[in-house]
Amino acid sequence: MKKLLLFVFPVLTGLMGACEPIVDEREMAAKLSESELILNIKQPVEGGNLVVVENNTPGVNGVWDFGLKTSTRSRDTVTYPYVGDIAIKFLAIGDGIILPVTRTVKVTEITHPVDPAWALFAGDGSKTWVWADEACYGANGYGNDKVPAWEPDIFNPGDVVMEGKTVNADEEIVFDINGGANFIRRKSDGTVIEKGTFAFDMKHRNPGDPNAANDLNDEKPPFIIGKLTLTGATLPCGSTTWSTAPVYTYEILILNDDELVFEVDNAGNSPWALWASGTCWRFKAKE
């Protein structure tokens, strides 16, 4: 019995001690309200697309969600490529505190320059892309081909890739930056299939090419010129060749006013991926 009591006592003590922080956290969380957060969100130019945010709340850190990116810095800036009422979210994090809040800014004009890729993707605000006329989807040599080039896995609009997967000729994609970085996959009659958001990184370069990693001014740019990330939607035929698993991140091979080409590495970011099999998507601007 003595041995049993010696064993039980420290266990009970530990459990009682473990309960105390839970009470403290709840008490601490109750002490902070949204009105007590000291958040400064301002636009140096009224209605401008440059927004400066600051968290000056003592003892509270947090995460900013700008819609375009996230940040853990107490002070940061973001340049929006679109106008509208924009929600900026902040997740306040302190000692026992997790408090989400949202602020809204109104952007009425583009006063500061933005990445030209926004206009290439979305035109003056919204741009529709359709399948290229031929060889629009299929297998390519990853890091080598800018079109589907591996027979027999070269498909045109309307072709059946495999059971349950067709290159639907009446599907199109829309990049829209009216009030957000919106992405839509729809039918040509306007019926929405999927709707989500998009983000890109035009500093993403060829794997293993340190000389080109941050150089956007090469006369002969690297084979891979950027990366597109979709959330909530995929491209048409949004999976690698001979697969139906959805893909949401694509490398950009060509982006101009008339042509848009993506690829993914079928090997799944393998160090041996270059020159191996990839999957390629080709689109053209809708007339």
Q: Quick check: is 22 in a domain?
A: no
Q: Which two tokens stand for residue 188?
A: 């040509």
Q: For 97-129, write each residue's pLDDT tens digit.
A: 899 999 999 999 999 999 999 999 999 889 999
Classify residue 173 by burial, with Cβ atoms within 10 Å: 0-12, 13-18, 19+: buried
Q: Of the residues 107, 133, 167, which one is the last residue of a structural domain?
A: 107
Q: First-to-last CA distance in the chain? A: 87
Q: Quick check: is 18 in a domain?
A: no
Q: Quick check: is 202 in a domain?
A: yes
Q: What is the pLDDT along the chain (287 residues), one digit of tens a residue?
A: 433 333 333 433 443 344 434 334 344 444 678 989 999 999 999 999 999 999 999 999 999 999 888 899 999 999 999 888 999 999 999 888 899 999 999 999 999 999 999 999 999 889 999 999 999 999 988 877 888 988 889 999 999 999 889 999 999 999 998 878 899 999 999 999 999 999 999 887 665 444 443 333 343 345 788 999 999 999 999 999 989 999 999 999 999 999 999 999 887 655 555 557 889 999 999 99
What pLDDT shows up at residue 7?
Answer: 36
Q: How far is the C-alpha of 138 from the C-alpha of 282, rounded, in Å?
A: 9
CATH number of the domain at 65, please.
Answer: 2.60.40.10
Q: Quick check: is 15 in a domain?
A: no
What pLDDT shows up at residue 273?
Answer: 53
Q: How far is the C-alpha of 38 from the C-alpha of 35, rounded, in Å?
A: 8
Q: Quick check: is 102 in a domain?
A: yes
Q: Quick check: is 3 in a domain?
A: no
Determine the structural domain holding residue 97 and report its residue range. Answer: 34-107
Q: Which two tokens stand for residue 82?
A: 């679109």
Q: Which residue has the tokens 């440059």?
A: 50
Are 152 and 103 in the same domain? no
Are 73 and 173 in the same domain? no
SS3 137: strand
Q: Quick check: is 39 in a domain?
A: yes
Are 186 and 273 in the same domain? yes
What pLDDT shows up at residue 205?
Answer: 67
What pLDDT shows up at residue 173?
Answer: 98
Q: Which residues contact 187 (CB under 8 A, 6 or more apart)?
A: 170, 171, 172, 193
CATH number of the domain at 256, please.
Answer: 2.40.128
Q: Of the residues 107, 127, 145, which one is the last residue of a structural domain?
A: 107
Are 90 and 154 in the same domain? no
Q: Quick check: is 280 in a domain?
A: yes
Are 141 and 232 in the same domain? yes
Are 226 and 270 in the same domain? yes
Q: Of the residues 54, 81, 107, which one is the last residue of a structural domain?
A: 107
Are 182 and 100 in the same domain? no
> What is the number of domains present in the chain?
2
Are 273 and 154 in the same domain? yes
Are 128 and 75 in the same domain? no
Percent of the chain clearing pLDDT 70 (strictly above) = 80
What pLDDT shows up at residue 204?
Answer: 76
- Sign of the torsion formed by the C-alpha atoms of 176, 178, 181 and 187: negative
Are 50 and 153 in the same domain? no
Are 131 and 63 in the same domain? no
Are 138 and 268 in the same domain? yes
SS3 97: strand
What pLDDT shows up at residue 222?
Answer: 59
Q: How far is the C-alpha of 90 from the C-alpha of 172, rounded, in Å?
A: 35
Tell me the CB-side half-sphere exposure of residue 167, using CA atoms within 13 A. Answer: 25
What one-letter code names the amino acid at 81? P
